[in-house]
């Protein structure tokens, strides 16, 4: 299996073999971060720009560390500091970045498909760090990596994703990746935030938490955003938490070895009780650690396909 893409835009585009290649490559890079010297020269001489047109802390830090550990030269660009506010188009901004002989652009944007649009207009590589509610491929890859590491194989796993599925790029990328690797996916949450249309691609859609998590091997919880309440998707955070939050007593309904995952940031006491987030089933911090390995793997593979 040879990696052939200059961009990583989403898991929708990838084959099971390509996903597995990233996961296998990440296993090797995970070992690097466990060494005393946590750096390899894989991207020496390459320049990576982290271009975030939407706020992010953890994803940006994770990418930046991954780039540094691969010995790339790194520049961070925030939307606030960029020319977008001066009326320049996104395409012009990114063309200007490319004109500085940059090899890779890691990009986050609020508009679905913004990275697809940029990637087809640029020669440098584009890695999607989240585009609106469309995809967040490295997050899903690190989730899947964690499942594989903990449970051995993804094939046949029952994975429940709970929360605001409608507005979640994490959910979409997880769905594509998990389906391709042979897992069974259930999405759950209030009916207003979990559209039935997901059934058309073979995902089970559920509006009852107990039913959704009953036989789950993994429960992946998504952050519920307060602004959805003001848009009338559900009556209150309290009611959301009552019907869809995971509390210590919920754990009794799960299989003992079920993994509790969360892409962060957690609203403690809303979608997830603190005791569960810190409990023995939780792998939330291991997800963060694995995120670094996944991003190193992705950057390494993609950089190898950028024509310079």
Partner 1 sequence: MKDLLFKNARIIDPVRNVDAKGDLGVSNGLIVEASEVKDATVIDLSGKVLTPGFIDIHVHLRQPGNSDAETVATGGAAAAAGGFTSIVAMPNTKPPADTVGAIELLRNMAKKSPVKVLPCGNMSVGGQGEAMAGIGSLKEAGIVALSDDGRCVQNHGLMRHIVEYAKAFGVPILDHCEDSSLAAGGVMHEGKWSVLLGFNGIPAAAEELIITRNVLLAQEINWRIHMQHVSTRESVNILRYARSRGIPVTGEATPHHLTLTDECIKKFDTNYKMNPPLRSEEDRQALIAGVADGTITVIATDHAPHTATAKEVEFDHAPFGIIGLETAFALCHTELVTKGVIDLPHLIRMMTAGPAEVLGLEDYSLRPGRPADLTIFDPAEEYVIDSSKFFSKSRNTPFNGRSVIGRIIMTVVDGKVVYQK
* Contact (Cβ atoms closer than 8 angstroms) between residue 180 and residue 209: no
CB of 271 to partner 1, least distance (A): 20
Cα–Cα distance list, 277 to 49, 270, 274 (Å):
33, 11, 5
Alpha carbon dihedral 210, 175, 192, 212, in 10-degree steps, equals -10
With binding defined as CB under 8 A, does residue 191 bind partner 1?
no
Q: Which of 213, 209, 133 is nearest to 175 (CA)?
A: 133
With binding defined as CB under 8 A, does residue 197 bind partner 1?
yes
Stretch that binds partner 1, among 20-28, 66-74, 127-135, 206-214 (CB under 8 A): 127-135
With binding defined as CB under 8 A, does residue 134 bind partner 1?
yes
Stretch that binds partner 1, among 84-92, 96-104, 137-145, 256-264 (CB under 8 A): 84-92
- Binding to partner 1 in span 11-70, by CB under 8 A: 12
CB of 172 to partner 1, least distance (A): 6
With binding defined as CB under 8 A, does residue 117 bind partner 1?
yes
Stretch that binds partner 1, among 65-73, 75-83, 198-206, 242-250 (CB under 8 A): 198-206
With binding defined as CB under 8 A, does residue 96 bind partner 1?
no
Residue 114 or residue 188: which is nearer to partner 1 going by CB? 114
Residue 113 or residue 304: which is nearer to partner 1 going by CB? 113
Binder among 21, 32, 40, 111 for partner 1 (CB under 8 A): 111
With binding defined as CB under 8 A, does residue 201 bind partner 1?
yes
Q: What per-residue string of b and e applies to 270-290 under the rule 16 or more CB within 10 Å gives b?
A: bbbbeebbeeebbbbebbbeb
Residue 7 or residue 131: which is nearer to partner 1 going by CB? 131
Binder among 25, 116, 184, 220 for partner 1 (CB under 8 A): 116
Binder among 46, 69, 109, 180 for partner 1 (CB under 8 A): 109
CB of 89 to partner 1, least distance (A): 6
Binder among 132, 264, 279, 304 for partner 1 (CB under 8 A): 132
CB atoms within 10 A of CB 50: 23
Which residues on neighbouring strands pair with residue 184, listed in sequence order? Answer: 158
Binder among 195, 235, 248, 274 for partner 1 (CB under 8 A): 195
* Contact set with partner 1 (CB under 8 A): 12, 89-91, 109-114, 116-117, 131-135, 166-167, 169, 172, 195, 197-198, 200-201
């Amino acid at each position: 299996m040879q990696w052939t893409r200059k961009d990583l835009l989403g898991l929708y585009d990838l084959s099971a073999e390509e996903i597995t290649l990233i996961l296998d490559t990440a296993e090797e890079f995970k070992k690097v971060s466990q060494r005393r010297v946590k750096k390899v020269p894989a991207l020496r001489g390459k320049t990576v720009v982290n271009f975030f047109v939407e706020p992010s802390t953890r994803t940006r830090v994770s990418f930046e560390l991954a780039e540094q550990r691969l010995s790339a030269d790194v520049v961070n660009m925030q939307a606030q500091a960029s020319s977008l506010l001066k009326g320049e188009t996104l395409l012009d901004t990114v063309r200007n970045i490319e004109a500085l002989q940059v090899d890779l652009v890691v990009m986050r944007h609020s508009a679905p498909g913004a990275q697809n649009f940029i990637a087809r207009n640029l020669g440098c590589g584009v890695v999607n760090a989240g585009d609106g509610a469309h995809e967040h491929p490295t997050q899903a890859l690190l989730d899947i990596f964690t499942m594989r590491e903990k449970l051995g194989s993804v094939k046949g796993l029952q994975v429940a994703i709970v929360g605001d599925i409608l507005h979640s790029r994490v959910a979409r990328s997880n769905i594509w990746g998990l389906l391709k690797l042979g897992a069974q996916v259930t999405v759950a949450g209030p009916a207003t935030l979990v559209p039935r249309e997901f059934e058309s691609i073979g995902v089970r859609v559920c509006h009852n938490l107990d039913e959704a998590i009953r036989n789950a091997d993994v429960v992946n919880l998504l952050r519920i955003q307060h602004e959805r309440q003001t848009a009338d998707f559900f009556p209150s955070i309290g009611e959301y938490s009552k019907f869809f939050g995971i509390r210590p007593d919920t754990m009794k309904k799960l299989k003992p070895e079920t993994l509790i995952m969360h892409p962060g940031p957690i609203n403690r006491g809303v979608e997830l009780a603190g005791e569960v987030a810190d409990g023995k089933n939780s792998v939330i911090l291991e997800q963060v650690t694995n995120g670094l390995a996944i991003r190193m793997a992705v950057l390494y593979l993609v950089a190898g396909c950028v024509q310079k």
